[in-house]
C-alpha cells in the first residue's frame, strides 16, 4: 500500500506548494481536490480547486503528472464531493455536470479513480432517493467506464450539522445501502472510497464490512473518529451523531487501525490509504494542518510499510 493525503485541507496553497510539502514529508500520493474553480461552496473542507478541470488541456495534464513524478508522487484520485441528489435541480445538475468534467480530467491525467458522493434529498425517504439514484447515476458511471475511470462513492452520511438534518446528504452510509447501490449499478468501475471513521459512530463492524465489500473498495480515506460520551449521553443515537461524533486524525480516535489494515490485507487491497484531515484541533494555520498530517502519517506508517 501507499500513503497519501487529500489536498482539500490546504485551500490557501497551490498544488505546487502542497505537493512539495507532501513529498518532503513521506507521502507517496496525493488525492487532488477539484471543486469548481469558480467557487461558491461554503461547506467546510469543500470548494478547493487544486486543478481547474474545466480548462484542463492534455498538455497541462501531462506537465502536472511529470512535475509530480519528479517529486516521487502520483495522483491516487480526483476528489469532488457535492450533493448530486439535491432537491434543488440547479444544484443537482451542476454536480453532475462538474462530475463529468472531473472524469474527463482523470482520463487526461491518467488517474484511475474519481471520489465523490451519491448525495441525498434529506427531506424525502430512502426509497425515493434510490429511485432518483437509479435514474441519474447509471449514465454517469457508464460515461466513466467508457473512459476507463472508476467512480468511488465515499460512505460519509453527511449529517454533521443542522442544515443536513434529518436525513443527511448522502445515501451511501451503510452496508444495506451499498448493496442496494451495487444492485442498481453492477458495473465493475463503480465502488467505494472507504472511510472507516464513519462506521465507528454507527456501531457497524468495520472488518466485516471490509471483508464483504473488499472487491468494491477502490480507494481508502484514512480518518479517525472520537465518540464524545458526554454528548452521546445528552443527545443519544437519535441525533444521528450530531453533538457527539468528532472527526480526528488517525491515531487520535477509536478506529482500530490494526484490525482495519488486517482486513484490507485479507481482501487483497493494495492501493492507496489517503489521509483526510478534518480535525479542528489542528486548524487555524497551514503549519497546524501540516502537523496534523504528520501525526496521521506517523501512526499509519507501521501498517502501510511492512
pLDDT in tens, 128-181: 999 999 999 999 999 999 999 999 999 999 988 778 878 889 999 999 999 999
Q: How far apart are the first and last CA of the chain?
A: 9
Helices (H) and strands (E) in the chain, counts: 10, 10
Asked whether the predicted pLDDT for residue 65 surpasses 60, the reply is yes
Angle at alpha carbon of residue 303, lines to 299 and 305, rounded to 5°: 110
Give the residue-averaged pLDDT of 112-133: 97
CATH code for the domain of 108: 3.20.20.150
Confidence of residue 38 (pLDDT cuts 50, 70, 90): confident
The pTM for the full model equals: 0.96
Structure confidence at residue 39 (pLDDT): 67
Structure confidence at residue 193 (pLDDT): 98
Range of the domain at 192: 2-304
Asked whether the predicted pLDDT for residue 306 surpasses 60, the reply is no
Structure confidence at residue 86 (pLDDT): 96
Structure confidence at residue 42 (pLDDT): 58
pLDDT in tens, 217-238: 999 999 999 999 999 999 999 9
Structure confidence at residue 110 (pLDDT): 98
DSSP string, 92-125: HHHHHHHHHHHHHHHHHHT--EEEE-----TTS-
Confidence of residue 70 (pLDDT cuts 50, 70, 90): very high
Count up the domains in the chain and report the number.
1
Amino acid at each position: 500500500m501507499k500513503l497519501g493525503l487529500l489536498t482539500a485541507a490546504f485551500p490557501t496553497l497551490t498544488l505546487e506548494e502542497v505537493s512539495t510539502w507532501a513529498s518532503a514529508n513521506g507521502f507517496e500520493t496525493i488525492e487532488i481536490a477539484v471543486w469548481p474553480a469558480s467557487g461558491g461552496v461554503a461547506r467546510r473542507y469543500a470548494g478547493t480547486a487544486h486543478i481547474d478541470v474545466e480548462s484542463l488541456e492534455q498538455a497541462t495534464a501531462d506537465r502536472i503528472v511529470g512535475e509530480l513524478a519528479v517529486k516521487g508522487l502520483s495522483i491516487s484520485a480526483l476528489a469532488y464531493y457535492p450533493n448530486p441528489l439535491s432537491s434543488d435541480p440547479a444544484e443537482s445538475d451542476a454536480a453532475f455536470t462538474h462530475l463529468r468534467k472531473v472524469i474527463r480530467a482523470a482520463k487526461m491525467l491518467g488517474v484511475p479513480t474519481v471520489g465523490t458522493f451519491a448525495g441525498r434529498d434529506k427531506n424525502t425517504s430512502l426509497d425515493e432517493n434510490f429511485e432518483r439514484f437509479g435514474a441519474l447515476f447509471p449514465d454517469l458511471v457508464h460515461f466513466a467506464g467508457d473512459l476507463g475511470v472508476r467512480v468511488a462513492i465515499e460512505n460519509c452520511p453527511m449529517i454533521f450539522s443542522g442544515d443536513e438534518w434529518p436525513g443527511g446528504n448522502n445515501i451511501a452510509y451503510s452496508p444495506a445501502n451499498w448493496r442496494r447501490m451495487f444492485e442498481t449499478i453492477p458495473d465493475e468501475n463503480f465502488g467505494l472510497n472507504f472511510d472507516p471513521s464513519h462506521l465507528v459512530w454507527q456501531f457497524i463492524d468495520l472488518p466485516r464490512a471490509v471483508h464483504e465489500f473488499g472487491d468494491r473498495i477502490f480507494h481508502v480515506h484514512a480518518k479517525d473518529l472520537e465518540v464524545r460520551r458526554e454528548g452521546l449521553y445528552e443527545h443519544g443515537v437519535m441525533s444521528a451523531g450530531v453533538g457527539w461524533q468528532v472527526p480526528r486524525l488517525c491515531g487520535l480516535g477509536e478506529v482500530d487501525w490494526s484490525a482495519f489494515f488486517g482486513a484490507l490485507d485479507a481482501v487483497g487491497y493494495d492501493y492507496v490509504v489517503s489521509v483526510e484531515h478534518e480535525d479542528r484541533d489542528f486548524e487555524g494555520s497551514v503549519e497546524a494542518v501540516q502537523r496534523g498530517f504528520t501525526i496521521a502519517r506517523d501512526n499509519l506508517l507501521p501498517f502501510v510499510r511492512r
